[in-house]
Amino acid sequence: MPPEPVTTPLLAVAVYARISHDRDSDAAGVTRQVEDALTLVDRHPEWKLIGPPYVDNDISATRATPRDQYDRLMTAVGHGEVQVIVVYALSRLWRNRRQRADALEVLASHRVRVVTLKGPDLDLSTASGRMLAGLLGEVDTFEAEQIGERVARAKQQAAEQGRNPGGGRVYGLTPDRTATIPEEAAILQDVAKRVLAGEPLRTICRELNERGIRPALATRTERSGRTPLWNAQTLRRSLMNPTITGRRIHHGQDIGPAIWPAVLDRDTFDAVSGLLSGRTTPPGWTNKHVHLLSGIAKCGKCGATVVGTQPHRSAPRAYLCPPIMQGGCRGVRRAADPVDALVETIVIHLLAAPGTVEQLMAAGAPDAGEVLAVGRGIEAAQARAAAIGAAMADDDLTDEVTRIVRRTAVDKVRTELDTLRRRQAAMARVSLVDGLLDLNDVAAHWPGLTLSRRRAIVRALIDVVILPGARGGKFDPNLIRITRRTAS
């Protein structure tokens, strides 16, 4: 009886492919790697592919960026499901020292062999295989770090020269950032004025979308089959991007003038940024209110400020004193529409009266002493920054302690300057009378003002007290006490 043939178990093989940058988003690079790897697998009858290739497309291995397919591969290795890994080159697996060291330990403990299409095979169950893998890996890491240093230096030079850093298009500027797009620049300038006037971002976005105006990300969004629309986050990002001031920003630092023109001047940009970051909102200009007099008019019984209420859209609006636990007494309640109409009639009349504009200008103007103090503070901080630069001009930046001391000193001055500039931006906010000067018909213009703007003007001109009285029946204007505020 002839002896039975001896069968050798097939080796479990996994294929891994990766490319750092897929510029055309067509996965052509990783497809070539996979095709070559599968060709090699077919030439080895003793190998058995355990499943589809593990592919990480457009993902760097230099940084600690998550690689889902690599993680799945290493999990399979840890479960003992892989004996051979086929990869185009060792650098496709690792560029990072820590990741390579962790992986070599796992591969060695499970006696996994790494076969590369461009390089030697590595038996990681042996000391010589691990040594060779470590040496080749260090060469890969060295190359990656050297490339990183060259790229970083090139980007620094580009920043110092004010050149385009690349990336997505900035609204208001051409894709190459060599010029403004006049129509978009005009829109952004108009939006900035509206924001400074207290108009909510959502209102502005709704109006832009209704006019068919699209954000800068329109082309990319349209490719995905979605309709590109403005939203508060997109508009805020566009308005707070310092690139639109014609300045070159690198690693969060203002390096100097850019080669492209400014869409917004620096003062307007600082004022808008301060408002949108919530640091400079003037009293009474919040966009959280939906009633003209909520938080402004007072209860004639206990003195608490009234709140506006509307249980549902079809219900009439009303002003009422809040309950005791909220500082009120529930002593008054009045229909809001006739109260608002009375207050607005009086305010419009006052706006046409002599001295009213001067009163509003005074209400919106910052204290002259504070303006001077902030300006002097900025000059002093700038002088300290220059002194630090001069004192450290000859320092040895390779010394760790020197670098730490220098960074601490610079950060302190930078923080102080940022704080002072935010205060300066707050004082440069739009005047209450902006757009009201030289108007022949204030009454016709009044409904076009934003609610936040109207509230601020009401607060600056008059005091409103809602007096207690019988509920229901015809509206009695005598129960609404309105007095002119005196200029402070």
**Per-residue pLDDT, 44:** 92
Q: Residue 279: what pLDDT?
A: 47
Q: Please name the residues in contact with 47: beta carbons below 8 A apart, sequence gap of 6 or more.
A: 10, 11, 13, 41, 84
374-384: average pLDDT: 72
pLDDT bracket for residue 483 (50, 70, 90): very high
Stretch 158-167: mean pLDDT: 59
- The mean pLDDT of the chain is 77
Residue 310 corresponds to which tokens in the numbers above?
Answer: 């509307």
Higher pLDDT, 147 or 285: 147
Please give the average per-residue pLDDT across 188-209, as a whole number: 87
The pLDDT of residue 280 is 45
Q: Is the pLDDT score of 71 beyond 70?
A: yes
**Segment 353-374 mean pLDDT:** 61
Residue 188: per-residue pLDDT: 92
Average pLDDT over residues 388-394: 63
* Amino acid identity for residue 470 in this structure: A
- Give the residue among 339, 294, 337 at the shortest CA–CA distance from 315: 337
**Mean of pLDDT values over 13-20:** 92
Could you give the C-alpha distances from 149 to 21, 136, 258, in angstroms and in order?
Answer: 18, 20, 23
Q: How many CA atoms lie within 13 A of 92 on its CB side?
A: 26
Query: Among 96-105, 262-271, 387-396, whose mean pLDDT is lowest?
Result: 387-396
Counting residues of the chain whose pLDDT is more than 90, the rounded percentage is 20
Distance between CA 304 and CA 424 in Å, rounded? 33
Model confidence at 368: pLDDT above 60: no
DSSP summary character for residue 199: -
pLDDT of residue 102: 83
Res 391: pLDDT = 63
- Looking at residue 283, what is its pLDDT? 41
Q: Is the pLDDT of residue 285 over 50?
A: no
Structurally, at CATH architecture level, domain 11-149 sits in 3-Layer(aba) Sandwich (3.40)
pTM score of the predicted model: 0.40
Q: Are 213 and 191 in contact (CB under 8 A)?
A: no
CA–CA dist 162, 249 (Å, integer): 9
Contact (Cβ atoms closer than 8 angstroms) between residue 285 and residue 451:
no
List all residues 6 or more positions away from 361 whose beta carbon is below 8 Å from its beta carbon: 431, 432, 433
How does pLDDT run across 220-255, given as a tens digit for each residue? 444 556 678 899 888 988 898 888 888 777 666 666
Question: What pLDDT, on the 0 to 100 scale, is given for residue 381?
Answer: 75
CA dist., res. 437 & res. 282, Å (int): 21
Q: Which of 7-21, 136-150, 330-344, 444-458 has the highest mean pLDDT?
A: 330-344
Between 274 and 172, the more confident residue is 172
pLDDT at residue number 487: 59
Tell me the percentage of the chain whose pLDDT exceeds 70.
Answer: 68
Most confident of 188-192, 259-263, 412-416: 188-192
Confidence of residue 271 (pLDDT cuts 50, 70, 90): confident
Q: Give the tens place of pLDDT for each residue, 316-338.
A: 888 999 887 777 888 899 999 99
Angle at 99 between CA 97 and CA 102, to 5 degrees: 105
Domain residue ranges in the chain: 11-149, 182-276, 298-364+433-484, 368-427
* Encoded tokens for 22: 């897929």
364 pLDDT more than 60: no
115: nearest Cα among 246, 19, 198, 16:
16
Concatenating the DSSP letter of every residue in 84-146 gives EEEES-HHHH---HHHHHHHHHHHHHTT-EEEESSS--EETTSHHHHHHHHHHHHHHHHHHHH
Residue 285 DSSP label: -
Kindly report the number of other CB atoms within 10 A of residue 411's CB atom: 10
- Strand-pair category, 307-309 with 318-320: antiparallel
Residues in the chain: 488
What number is the average pLDDT over the span 84-109?
84
DSSP category for residue 26:
S
Name the β-bridge partners of 481.
465
Q: How do residues 286-320 score in pLDDT, each as one tens digit?
A: 445 688 998 889 999 998 889 888 877 778 888 99
Over range 201-210, report the average pLDDT: 90
Average pLDDT of the residues in 440-461: 77
> Under CATH, to which class is 182-276 assigned?
alpha beta
Give the model's pLDDT for residue 330.
87
User: Does the pLDDT value for residue 446 go beyond 90?
Assistant: no
The predicted pLDDT at position 425 comes to: 59
128-132, 267-271, 447-451: the lowest-pLDDT one: 128-132
